[in-house]
Amino acid sequence: MDELVARITSNVGIDPATATKAVGMILAFLQKEGPADKVAALVAAIPGAQDAIAAADSQGGGFMSGMMGGVMGLGTQLMGAGLGMSEISGVSKETIAYAREKAGSGPVDAVVDAIPGLSQFV
């Protein structure tokens, strides 16, 4: 997780705590919305991913995320964490690119393809 957070901090320009929180939210979203076996492979390939997911889950998604699901709900959560649209895009792209490096394109692309609307953001 440290390698991914450092990459996001450098390339997107957000602080490490926010980057960690955002990655946790994204991975928790993938775990909730994606095919369980493919997401499990993706999460297992990223050191510290399960801890980031647990931290994101423990913080809850806030009022609006309960009302809005899918990719839009995730975007609302990330905005609630203080990220703007360009930062959300940057964190999402860095997280998926890192996941592809660690887990391979097959499982990651299967997850992205299985979640409606996700491909346009990553």
Per-residue pLDDT of the chain (122 residues; tens, 9 = 90+): 999 999 999 999 999 999 999 999 999 999 999 999 999 999 999 999 999 999 888 765 444 444 567 888 899 999 999 999 999 999 999 999 999 999 999 999 999 999 988 888 88
The two tokens of residue 105 are 């394109």
Q: What range defines the domain where residue 56 resides?
A: 2-120
CATH number reported for the structural domain that contains residue 32 in this entry? 1.10.490
| Cβ proximity of 52 and 1 under 8 Å | yes
| Cβ proximity of 38 and 56 under 8 Å | no
Q: In terms of C-beta density within 10 A (0-12 exposed, 13-18 middle, 19 or more buried), how is residue 110 classed?
A: middle
Number of domains in the chain: 1
What 3-state DSSP class applies to 74? helix
